[in-house]
Structure 1
Amino acid sequence: MRRRIITTLALAILAACSSGPPQAPVLGEAFVGPATLQIRQELTSRAALVATVKHGDRLSLIGRRRRFYKVRTSSDAEGWVDGRQLLSREDMSDLKELAERAANAPSQGRASVFELLNVHTLPNRQSPSFFQIRHDQQVEVVAHERAPRVPFDPPDFIKLDSTPLVVKKAKKKAEPAIPRPPAGKPPEVPKNWLDLSGNPDGFVPEQGEKIDNEEPKPQPPAIPMDDWTLIRSKDGSAGWVLARMLLMAIPDEVAQYAERARITAYFNLGSVNDDGVEKPVWMWATLAQRGVSFQFDSLRIFNWNARRHRYETSFIERGMKGYLPILLQGSPATSFQVVVEEKDGRSMEREYRLNGFRARVVGRHEGQVPAPWNEQNKIVSATAPAKAPEKSLKDKAKGFVEGVKRRFKR
């Protein structure tokens, strides 16, 4: 009897627990883009906090209002987030491929920051920031790019039904019993139409003739551009930051000669002994121009003068149109290669040989400007060889029989 009572009470409790409203169906999936993301109960910044998720966590999408999505976490917490802070499965794969390619790319120097700096998944201010650089942290510089400052357009995470709507054809209205009166004659052009049109001198241009005082058509405003830098952290993560927020970690006693130009890359070519103190020899690439597609317009080598105890220029070349990366050969470096655009517009790869920290060109051959990093993933995937389809058992047997026949024919 007691056992029956306990069983009845347990069933009653289970029934009470399962009497809640059913969960909304899952319409899609997405992944958390930023390092941390807060999920709110409603679409207001002051709404109650439902949960906090981390970068890469999977979310189930159960609703949508414009660019906002209602999501459900793995712990069944439900709330609203901004769709610009979400990544698709393809975005997560691209981010992983970007980190793998950046890990194998040559470093163009180290950089630090003045304050906490957001690292974005794409060269766009509104794209998710999935980690940050601290002021006491240094990162590797991999590449520089220019990108248009346009609104971030996230993918559609919820695929809507593409079935066309069936629209009922409107019934034709019955013709009136009394027909409509005919349209009247249009008014004539006034005699002073030239004065009314803003031509008080009475000048009538001939057919096809252009009026001198005709105002040019307004041109659409130019899209502003931002300079971005691809960086690599110690833990292997790679992302994009605004180039103007980085400080290249070259010593101040050398950086003071930049003459307001932006240092885009620098390298340690060796050292000079000055009374037991090793002083590095630096080479840098700088960009003095703004709004250009190339990454540097000057190369310069600073050698330490042990007699005068100061840095002096041992090599400089200006007026270049150079593209990163700069590839050094040897340890310590004995030569380096750069891709530049010559005056005739051709892209050439120059090889420089170092001779006592002085550089001279020893070779030129056809080169190619590196493609933007965001497009290289598409190029690699498009040019990757497709896997041959596996042969069926019938095709394998047929091939075996044909091979036996060829042997007997011999």
Structure 2
Amino acid sequence: MTSVGFLSGCHRFHQENHETVYVAVRQMYLHDRVAAVSNRVGEVTNGQALEVLEHGRRFLKVKTQKNEIGWIEEHAVIDGKSYDDFTQLGQQHKSDPVVATAVVRDDVFLHLSPGRNTQRFILLPANAKVELLVRASVPKTAPGVKAVRKPVSPPAVAGSSAGTGAKPAPTKVADPVAKASPEPAPVEAPVMEDWWLVRDAQGRMGWLLGGRMDVDVPDSVGQYAEGQRIVGAYVLTTIHDEDSSAPNHEVPEYVMVLEPPKNGLPYDFDQVRVFTWSVKRHRYETAFRLRPIQGFLPVTIGKEPTKGGTAPSFSFLLGNGQDVAVDPHSGITKPASPRTITYSMIDTVVKRAGSDLAPIPSMHGADEKKDKAAKRPTKHKAK
């Protein structure tokens, strides 16, 4: 019996030795016991691996790599499966192209999937640079956000004339066939939020709320956003200007994609602009503008063959009408039948190139056109 008990105990200890959890908060102290009064025996930080020695009610007894043993709250860690899910997320998207770079505004956690209530783990410090890979839009689930309009209750009908001495009017029975059924209350679209799958300098990946970061765009061209949200700015080519302060006097020229300052749009951008540098005026000028379109990332910079050699070019994906596919699990929107649109630039002239030279239709929906029509001032004829 003693041998059996000893072997059983060894087996249980072997199982616990292999259970590992990971710190999912910024930092936390380990305590020597679970009690109102306890002593700190160690400090752990985000991402640190801990060996589980014992399970308690809402607490775990763990051991650090420094052999510090203490109790930690269960909600402050993630288990091995969640850790593997984050690792798998990175493997699934390791070959995704980088569509832009950004800087996080404050300390922020990366999530396993888009959404405020999803599993979070990796903590990024303020001003950390990240690479943007994929955008997704999901309903906002913050407390106090109303996604559906509630039906308004009709006013109560007085059933008596108490206090007046008058008899109540007889109630008329309505014809059940003639009576129209009440229309259902209108349902508002849910409030949406944009999330981005990002990768930090250490190669760690996760989903980050779009409003918690700023796209890395040079101030020299970022000032021309005109109230729109810059999705990305890409160096198309450079031009030499002896009077400029650019490194080696080589001034970059950019292609920029922008979108309205809204979340949940069924495209990545609706405007393309090209900024060239005027050597004569020593400033940026708009050489090309395309809008409104239903554009999708990534924007690819390349070279297009010309009669005299090659010219800088850029390409992007164009949606075909409302034919877009939305992943119901991640909220990622992609064009179902995309077209690849290419432009090349010779000096300051931007023109179509590539195999697809078909017309580019306007992709704004009917609702947006109605909004513009409503904002348009009414013209009054002179009397």
* 8 Å CA contact retained: 1:350, 1:361: no
The equivalences for 1:140-159 within 5 A come to: 140-150=131-141
Question: SS state of the match for residue 270, structure 2?
Answer: strand
1:138-187 deviations in Å (ceiling 9; x for gaps): 33222222233348xxxxxxxxxxxxxxxxxxxxxxxxxxxxxxxxxxxx
Instruction: Report the Cα distance in structure 2 between the residues aligned to 1:349 and 1:46, rounded to whole angstroms.
Output: 66
Question: SS state of the match for residue 98, structure 1?
Answer: helix
Compute the TM-score of the two structures, normalised by the length of structure 2: 0.63
Please, which runs of 5 or more residues in structure 2 have no aligned partner? 1-11, 143-156, 161-167, 244-248, 305-309, 324-335, 358-383
* 8 Å CA contact retained: 2:344, 2:353: no
Instruction: Report the Cα distance in structure 2 between the residues aligned to 1:47 and 1:295, rounded to whole angstroms.
Output: 53
1:369-391 deviations in Å (ceiling 9; x for gaps): xxxxxxxxxxxxxxxxxxxxxxx
Question: SS state of the match for residue 85, structure 2?
Answer: helix
Aligned residues: 294
1:265-296 deviations in Å (ceiling 9; x for gaps): 22111111122621101111111152313221
Question: SS state of the match for residue 97, structure 2?
Answer: coil
Matched, 1:237 2:204: yes
> Aligned partner of 1:77: which letter?
I
C-alpha change, 1:265 and 1:353, in structure 2 (3 Å) is same
Q: Which residue of 2 aligns with 1:132?
A: 124
Q: Which residue of 1 aligns with 2:98?
A: 107
Q: Which residue of 1 aligns with 2:82?
A: 91
> Aligned partner of 2:88: which letter?
E
* 8 Å CA contact retained: 2:85, 2:112: no
Matched, 1:339 2:317: yes
Q: Which residue, 241, 258, 277 being the options, matches 1:286?
A: 258
Question: SS state of the match for residue 92, structure 1?
Answer: helix
* 8 Å CA contact retained: 1:269, 1:333: no
Instruction: Report the Cα distance in structure 1 between the residues aligned to 2:170 and 2:186, rounded to whole angstroms.
Output: 26
Question: SS state of the match for residue 355, structure 1?
Answer: strand
Instruction: Report the Cα distance in structure 2 between the residues aligned to 1:285 and 1:28, rounded to whole angstroms.
Output: 49
Question: SS state of the match for residue 254, structure 2?
Answer: strand
Q: Which residue of 2 aligns with 1:79?
A: 71
> Aligned partner of 2:251: which letter?
K
Instruction: Report the Cα distance in structure 1 between the residues aligned to 2:169 and 2:61, rounded to whole angstroms.
Output: 67
C-alpha change, 1:80 and 1:315, in structure 2 (3 Å) is same
Matched, 1:353 2:343: yes
Q: Which residue of 1 aligns with 2:175?
A: 206
Instruction: Report the Cα distance in structure 2 between the residues aligned to 1:200 and 1:76, rounded to whole angstroms.
Output: 83
Q: Which residue of 2 aligns with 1:254?
A: 221
Q: Which residue, 299, 307, 315 being the options, matches 2:280?
A: 307
C-alpha change, 1:344 and 1:293, in structure 2 (3 Å) is closer
> Aligned partner of 2:300: which letter?
L
* 8 Å CA contact retained: 1:32, 1:87: yes
Shift of 1:47: 6.2
Question: SS state of the match for residue 130, structure 1?
Answer: strand
Q: Which residue of 2 aligns with 1:400?
A: none
Compute the TM-score of the two structures, normalised by the length of structure 1: 0.59
* 8 Å CA contact retained: 1:282, 1:303: yes
Greater percentage in helix? 1
Q: Which has the larger radius of gyration?
A: 1
C-alpha change, 1:29 and 1:307, in structure 2 (3 Å) is same
Please, which runs of 5 or more residues in structure 1 have no aligned partner? 1-21, 152-193, 366-410
Q: Which residue of 2 aligns with 1:186?
A: none
Instruction: Report the Cα distance in structure 1 between the residues aligned to 2:36 and 2:272, rounded to whole angstroms.
Output: 50
* 8 Å CA contact retained: 1:112, 1:249: yes
1:56-90 deviations in Å (ceiling 9; x for gaps): 5144274365xx4434235472423243x433433
Instruction: Report the Cα distance in structure 1 between the residues aligned to 2:316 and 2:61, rounded to whole angstroms.
Output: 49
CA-atom RMSD in angstroms:
3.9
Shift of 1:29: 4.0
* 8 Å CA contact retained: 1:295, 1:322: yes
* 8 Å CA contact retained: 1:40, 1:50: yes
C-alpha change, 1:27 and 1:138, in structure 2 (3 Å) is closer
C-alpha change, 1:99 and 1:204, in structure 2 (3 Å) is same
Instruction: Report the Cα distance in structure 2 between the residues aligned to 1:131 and 1:46, rounded to whole angstroms.
Output: 30
Shift of 1:260: 1.9
Percent identity between the aligned chains?
23
Instruction: Report the Cα distance in structure 2 between the residues aligned to 1:36 and 1:244, rounded to whole angstroms.
Output: 21
* 8 Å CA contact retained: 1:281, 1:304: yes
